[in-house]
Structure 1
């Protein structure tokens, strides 16, 4: 699955989300990494944040994506990260 397609799915599935999806060097096409920034992550645990992303990707998580390295941030967290 193309990284741009994954970005579009995440951004359309989570309101006001900004997603950057890459394919780590040396990995297969079905191994991806994503950084997702969304106000929807406010007051959510990391587990719930990741679940929101998985829900946005739907069946693609079992059919097209084998592994997804995920980093999720609220807008404030992303601005102040080190």
Structure 2
């Protein structure tokens, strides 16, 4: 599954989400991805719950097409305030 497909899945299955999905640097494996996801749905949720929401958005693809996703999740406010 390519990065654009994963981005579409996240954005269509997680309310208000904006996702950027890439291959991690130095990883030459099509099953590993890195995603930054910004969604108001993360407000008040723990980091673990935020990641679970992304995994839920990916559904069965997490067990069939994607081996691992390196996640960074933010509320819109957190994303605007980040220092990277």
TM-score (norm 1): 0.97
Partner of 2:12: 12
Partner of 1:50: 51
Distance 1:33 1:62 in 2: 16
| Structure 2 residues without counterparts, runs of 5 or longer | none
| Structure 1 residues without counterparts, runs of 5 or longer | none
Report the number of matched residues. 82
Backbone CA RMSD of aligned residues: 0.6
Q: SS of the counterpart of 1:29?
A: coil
TM-score (norm 2): 0.95
Q: CA deviation at 1:42?
A: 0.1
Moved more, 22-31 or 62-71: 22-31
Matched, 1:33 2:37: no
